[in-house]
Structures are given as C-alpha cells and as structure tokens.
Amino acid sequence: MRALTRRGMLGLGAGAAAAVGLSGCGTLMPSDGSSGAGGSAKGGPKRSRPARPLGDGSTSFTGKQPHQPAKPEPLEPGQTPPQFVVFSWDGAGEVGNGLFSRFLDLARKHDAHMTFFLSGLYLLPESKKRLYDPPNNQRGASDIGYLTDEHIKETLKNIRRAWLEGHEIGTHFNGHFCGDGSGSVGKWTPEQWRSEIDQAKSFVKKWRTNTGWTDLPSLPFDYDKELVGGRTPCLLGQDNLLPTARDLGWRYDASSPGGRQIWPDKKQGIWNLPLQQIPFPGHSFEVLSMDYNMLANQSINSTNAPAHNYPGWRQQAAGSYIAGFKRAYKTNRAPFFVGNHFEQWNGGIYMDAVEEAFKHIAREKEKGEDVRLVSFRQFVDWMDVQKPEVLAKLRTLEVGQQPAGGWKEFLADPAADSSTASGQAA
C-alpha cells in the first residue's frame, strides 16, 4: 500500500472554495472475506444470447448490450434537463471482500447503471507478469498487486455479470504508476499511452490464453468496441493521453482532477468528465467526489485510523456526496460524478457512505423525478444528441446557480444570446 500524503489547497477560481486532499486513487490489495460473486441478473435475458467467439474465446460478440436506456432525445424548448448521476469504480477487481457484487446488487435493485474502470492487470496471473511491459518501468512491475487466480476468476464473473446487467466496462489501464518520477503516468508520451492501452486491452482479450483456463465462459462483449473511455491512475497524464484517446475513437475521459459542478465540454475532441469539488460538511473548503479524497482529508495518511472516528467520518462522507447531488439537482442540473474503489479503508466506512448516498439519490429517482443513474457512456450518448446551442446555454450556469426565470424561460430559445446567465446561487 503506498502512503497517502496531504496535498495543498486546490484553487477553484474566484468565489469558489478550495479543497484539501489527493486527486489520485489508492491501491487495491487482497483482503479476507467472502467473495460474494454474483451470478446472472434477476430479470435478465430469458433466452440464451448467441455468442460468436472473438480471438482465443476470451471475449465474444453477443449482440446489443441488454438493459440499456431508451434512445436519448434532444431537449425540447423549455424542458428541464435530467439530473444525471454517474457512480464509477477504479480498478474493478474482486479481491475477496464481496464489494463488487454488493454494488452490482444495489444497482440492480434500483434499476441503475454504473461504470467499472477495469485494470487490465487484474486479469493477468502474476506468473505471467512479464507479459506486461510498462512504459519507463521494469517489465512486470506494478504499483498495485496482481490478483490470485481465484480472485481473477471472481473478477471475470463480476465483469461478465456487470455488462449483462447494462453497466459499462471502461479502463483504469494497468500498473497504476503515480508520483512524479520518470516512470509516472504523468510523464508518459502519447505513444506510451498507446502501448499501455494496447496492453490493457490485450489482457482482457487474451485472459484465456494467459491463464490456460478453458472451463469459464467468455466475456460477452467485444472490448475493442466496448472501450470508449477511462480514468488514469491518480488522475495524472490526461494531456498526453487525449491525443491517443481521440485517435482510438474514445468518446470521453474521466481523468481530469479538480472539476467543478458545471456542465462539461470537450477537450481535444473528447468529452472531459472530471471528478468534482463538492461541499464537505464541517469545512470551509470542498473535496473531490471520490472516496480516496474523503479519506485523505479525514485520516491524512492512514487507511486504518482509530475506530472511534469512523461514525463521524462515515456521516461526513455520505453528507458530502448528498450535498453535491442536492446542489446540482436544485440549481444548474450539472451531471454529478462520483469515483470509488472496492476497498475497506477505515473499516469500510466509505463503502457505507457511498451506499447511503446512492440510496438517497435512488429514492429521488423513484419518486418519479427525472433523476438518471447512468454510466459515463450512457451520459455521453445523451450529450451527443443535444443541440450545441442548448449545451452552450447550460454551460453558462455556474456552480449552484439557478436558471434565470426557471427552466421553461431559460431554455425557451436556446439559440438566443447565451453569453450570460443570471440567477440565485444555492
């Protein structure tokens, strides 16, 4: 486990609060406990899906992904935008703590979708680690642990289940090299990012060859077509990643740190979907919308702090996510992005906080309000069909800013002057 260090204030521009914390993510290491791996989805496909093996049979083409939202439509003049919420998971490996299946069950219960950023190394046995040639690092090196064979099998089961239940499988790349040394992903060139992506895809597309296992079902998707976005380790290296992502036809990137709760735009032709600064109860500064950053502000450099802190920290983390959702929902309707890890840091309080926030948002959705718990891919599907002038008008709304005159008036004539937007801040 690499140490957590405290970061200085992150400036957010005039009038915005600053956050203390890390913009990176932690290390996924095995822990004891039940695997809790899930099987097929309740209410899932009632007939067998035709499968056409791809490559060595590690993956297969099974047709259109099931459990997808209706085809997105452009907003009508004066229509209130939906409140989009994306819960995403970095690494997406099952390490015996049952967290992967726990949140798949939660999403299924509430008819919600998520994005799982799979680390390619989590499908590569440690005995084959020299197949990995990371840029500017020794062959086989990794700053996250390789999984046991049993945990690779459980990861395959959960990734397969996730896709069949409508979730997105993105990438968290491979070796998770952070810091400021020469091997850091923050120093990689576009060509080196291409090598890293090619290898991440290869470990998914060739897990059967690399493991020798022939008794497990293939993953039910073509990863060359499924993979349309990712999140870099520690939110580093986006500027050099984007030219490669664009050349590969990716549609979005979720690697930018320090985003704000405003409507997103494209960067180098790719939708830029950053983690966001959100209110942090009890503090005058804001925090990034990720479990790791809650931890960095609460226990500084410890993932196993004294337990007497846990109830208050759990409540604070859940309150932060809920406050971020409410601020967007009641004002500018900017999409709300949350990042997580399948970790039991500080007694698992961040998983409990994420679940509490998720349930709060799901209750709003189930009231009949237009709240949509979606994957990043589903969100950009919606963005891509909107009129450019509508998106431009939405982007004039600042954090916590209500549309002047209400949505009916604000979006009544999106082609009109969108250079200003006045309204009350929440």
Task: For tokens 């590969």, name the residue.
Answer: 248
CA-wise closest residue to 273 among 331, 224, 336: 336
- The boundaries of the domain holding residue 388 are 66-410
Q: What is the mean pLDDT of the chain?
A: 89
Amino acid 119: pLDDT: 98
Which CATH number fits the domain that encloses residue 330? 3.20.20.370
pLDDT digits (tens, 9 = 90+) for 181-229: 999 999 999 999 999 999 999 999 999 999 999 999 999 999 999 999 9
Residue 28 lies in a domain: no
Q: Across residues 281-300, what is the average pLDDT?
A: 96
Residue 220 lies in a domain: yes
Q: Which pair of tokens denotes residue 422?
A: 């006045």
8 Å CB contact between 310 and 346: yes
Residue 377 lies in a domain: yes
Residue 422 lies in a domain: no
Residue 224 lies in a domain: yes
Q: Across residues 375-386, what is the average pLDDT?
A: 98
Q: Across residues 63-92, what is the average pLDDT?
A: 97
8 Å CB contact between 87 and 321: no
Residue 253 lies in a domain: yes
145-170 CB burial, b ≥16 within 10 A, e <16 = bbbeeebbbbbbbbbbbbbbbbbbbb
Residue 37 lies in a domain: no
Domain count, the chain: 1
8 Å CB contact between 21 and 293: yes
- Find the range with the poorest average confidence among 26-40, 71-85, 314-328, 343-357: 26-40
Q: Across residues 39-43, what is the average pLDDT?
A: 41
Report the C-alpha gap between 39 and 158 in whole angstroms: 8
Residue 349 lies in a domain: yes
| Residue 28 reports pLDDT greater than 50 | no
Q: Could you tell me the pLDDT band of residue 414, with boundaries at 50, 70 and 90?
A: low
User: In the chain, count of helices (H) and strands (E)?
Assistant: 12, 12
